[in-house]
Structure formats: C-alpha cells, structure tokens
Amino acid sequence: MDELGTSDYGIYNLVAGVVAMLGFLNASMTAATQRYLSFDIGKSDIERLKKTFSAVLSIHFFLALFCLLIAETIGLWYINNKMVYPIDRTYAVNMVYQFSVITFLMGIIQVPYNSLIIAREKMNIFAYVSIIEALFKLGAVYLLMTLNKDKLIVYSILTFLVAFIVRVIYQIYCRRHFNESKFRFEYDKKYYSELLSYSGWSLFGNMAAVLRSQGSNVILNLFFGTVINAAYGITLQVLSAVNMFVSNFQLALNPQIIQNYASNNRDRAINLMMQGSKFSFFLILMLIVPIIINTEYVLHIWLKEVPENTAEFIQLCLIGILIDSISGSLMTMITAIGKIKLYQLILGSMNIFILPISYMFLNAGYDGEIIFKISIIFSILSLIIRLMFLCFLLELDLKLFFTTVLARIFSVMSVVVALLNLVNNTYYQVMEGDEVFKSLFKISGVIIAVVILVIVLGTNGRERSFLRNKIQTIVS
C-alpha cells in the first residue's frame, strides 16, 4: 500500500473485488470437484476417479469461457459506468480489470488440479509452492519500487505473472504424479447432469458467500469512496492470512471426512468432524488474540499510512472468522452427505440478506463497522442452522457435540476474555520501558496463556496424551 498509495490500493481491491464476484461460479464447481474426487478415492474406484477428473476439467473450461463473457460485458459496463474512482485513473482501472480477469480465468482452470492434490492428501506441495509464491511476490514488490511506471498497472501485471507461474507448477506436478490427471474427453450425459446438479446448488450458496464479502466492499464504496475500500482491502489481507493458517489443517482433514463417510465409516467421520471444529477454533484463537490486543501497534509497524477504520474492521472481522471456524468441518460433512439443496437455499438466502440490511443501516447513518457486526450475528445463526441440518441428515447427537466441542470452547473463551480484560486494565499501569519490548512481552505472555488454557480446558485426556507423545517425538 505504501508504494501504490491509499487511493490506488483502494481502487485495486475494488476492481479485483468486482472480478472476484464471479468467484461464486468457480467456488461452486470447486466444492463439487473436491467432493466427488475424494468420494471416488474413498470408494477405491480408480476408473471412476479418472472419469471424474476429466469431466470436471471439461466443465471448468466451459465455465472459464462463460465467466469471460460475463466479465467483458456486464463487468466492464459496471467498471466504466458505476464504480466510483478519480476520472484521471480510468485507463489504469481498465488495465487492472483486464489483468484481474485473466488471472481469475487461470484460477478456474487450476481448480481440478488443486482439488486432486487435496483429495490425494499431498499437502506438502502446497507448502513448497507457497514459499515459491511468496518469493515471487517479494520480487514483485521490489520491482514495483524500482520501475518508473504507473504502479497500479505494474502491480496488476506482476500479480498476473505470479499467478501464471503457480498455475504451471501445479499442473506439471499433477501430470507427473497422478495418472488420473491425464485428460480424456468422455461425455456421459447422466454423470455430467449429476455433477452440474450438485454444482448448481453449490453455485447458489457460493454466489451468496461472494456477495456477502465483495458486495460489502461495493456498498462501502457507494457510501464512503475508495479510501474506506483501502481499509477493507487491508482487512481482507489479514483475513486471508489468518484463514491460510488454519486452512492447511482443514485441507488435511476434509478428504478424510469425505472418504470415511464414502466408505461407510460414519462414526470415524463424525469424530473427525468434531475434532476439526474444535481445533480449528483453537488454532484461530491462538493466532488472533495477539492481533486483537495489538491491532493499532501492528498496523503502524506494517504501514506508513493507516486508513481510517482499519483497526476496527480487522478486529470485528477476526471475531467473525473465529465463529466461522467452528462451521468449517460441519460444512465438509454436509458436502460429503451430498443432500445440499435445502441447506444451500437457506444459508445462501441468509448471506444475501446481509447486504440489504447493511445498506439500510448505512443509509440510516451508521458507520462502516455495522457491516461486520451484522455478519457476526449471521455467522452465529448459520452455525446453529448447520447443526440442525446435521441432526436431520446424520442423526448427529447434539449433546455429544456440545460436550465435546462447544462446552470446551466456551470454557476456554470465558477465561481468555477475563484474561484480556485484566491485561487491558492493569498492563500499562505496571509495565515500564520501551514500547516494542512491552508489546512483545504482552504478545508472548498472552500466547503462552492461551496455549495453556487450550491444553488444560480445551482437550480431553486422550488428546493431551497424543499431544504429549508428539512433542516427545519431536524433541527426541
């Protein structure tokens, strides 16, 4: 943001957000792809797996063409006629838009390959490629600092090049390690219909999720302009970083849940689901508590100019992430069951309903924070509805879920909240010295306290024994 400036950074995030609104089309097929590939592996049906991969790759090619058509008609019209930005940046905005569209289309074609890697549980490749991607992004930032060109346009081109390199790496890896990734066109009308029917309802749910995220960005732009979009863009960066931290854990767990359900190992699948909900929450908790209590300080270290409302946006967004983390494994189980029509209809409608409610409150004079507060309320309601669906579809024992997951989460959170209140009320009264030292001392102290609370209050005897054995193995 320092190199682009607040306004250009806000423009980039808004333009990219308009393109990302097409992501609901891609996300719907992603859910179907991961579900069917993992299901075939769970059934140990290799021929079916080859058929599934070729089918979903074909569908993704056609999906990319459809998204291109939408982007170059409706999307382009919105960019040039409705979006609010300085008139002298029109050319740059259109350049950013076109490169964002190309980057997005590459992401669509990449989905079947990434889904196969996840289904095959080869998570280490994601770690290696993430390191490569981070190095390329670091190089892109350096070039941005040295090139004497329009930095907004240069940034969009460099982002595209990084995405292209990552796309090539994943495809080469799949071709060399998985025989089923070799494309062979085979049209089976019944199977294509099954895939598209499942994707159709996922489409509605994912459309609503994208509208909830990117639609909020557009609404904020309508009321406050591009400066607040910069704050929202930074918030989304923090959101992405935090989600990435726990996504590796969930990615490793999700294929296991689906494969165990596919092989009729129902009890094992439910146990994995509950462990996923609980430990996803604790992983997020350990990460976000230090950020929440030091948001302003961290932002001023990270950025030379901190857009107004950024700290408040980040804190509220992190609370929403914490609540949503409980639902991650629940959604995977519902996906594995496959009966998603009514589920997507209800949850998707709720997500869409957030936007008119947010618009109504903003129009009444509320500040931008109200969007995040409304989202938090809807995240809690969504969790309750997912549990109700699992009771109906899976005969989930709610009492068992409450004692195994929710009761331990509540016990840890009650002590954490009390601890944070104590820290905020007494910390600066008793600590003296350099500001950096005080902040580091507070962060380390809070992290240690949260880890201890999670181990003591958040885990049972079997889980503590497992953790102890793992630590002993690492140490020895």
Question: What's residue 470's pLDDT?
Answer: 61
The CA–CA distances, whole Å, from 67 to 71, 83, 154 equal 6, 20, 24
CA angle 425, 428, 432 (to 5 degrees): 160
Question: What's residue 215's pLDDT?
Answer: 82
Q: Mean pLDDT over all residues of the chain?
A: 81
The CA–CA distances, whole Å, from 312 to 233, 371, 373 equal 13, 11, 11
Residue 446 burial (CB count, 10 A):
21
Q: What are phi and psi of 309, to 5 degrees?
A: 80, -5
Amino acid letter, residue 368:
G
CB 115 within 8 A of CB 181: no
Question: What's residue 434's pLDDT?
Answer: 58
Q: Is 401's pLDDT higher than 90? A: yes
Q: What is the pLDDT of residues 166-209, one digit of tens each?
A: 888 988 998 888 888 887 777 777 777 877 788 777 777 777 87
179: DSSP letter = G
Question: What's residue 346's pLDDT?
Answer: 92
SS3 155: helix
How many whole angstroms separate alpha carbon 464 and alpha carbon 389?
31
- List of residues 6+ apart from 232 with CB closer than 8 A: 13, 216, 217, 220, 313, 368
How many whole angstroms separate alpha carbon 137 and alpha carbon 369?
31
Closest residue by Cα to residue 195 from 33, 354, 38, 84? 33
Q: What's the average model confidence in pLDDT over 23-50?
A: 76
Question: What's residue 77's pLDDT?
Answer: 87
Which of the two residues, 207 and 162, has the higher pLDDT score? 162
Q: How many CA atoms lie within 13 A of 153 on its CB side?
A: 11
The CA–CA distances, whole Å, from 230 to 5, 58, 85, 323, 470 equal 9, 37, 12, 25, 43
CA angle 49, 122, 257 (to 5 degrees): 65
Q: Is 219's pLDDT higher than 90? A: no
Maximum pairwise Cα distance, the chain: 72
Residue 128 burial (CB count, 10 A):
11
Sign of CA dihedral 217, 223, 226, 232: negative
Amino acid letter, residue 286:
M
How many whole angstroms separate alpha carbon 16 and alpha carbon 96?
8
How many whole angstroms separate alpha carbon 166 and alpha carbon 238?
22
- List of residues 6+ apart from 418 with CB closer than 8 A: none
How many whole angstroms separate alpha carbon 111 and alpha carbon 29?
8
**pLDDT tier, 109 (very low <50, low <70, confident <90, very high otherwise):** confident
Q: Is 152's pLDDT higher than 80? A: no
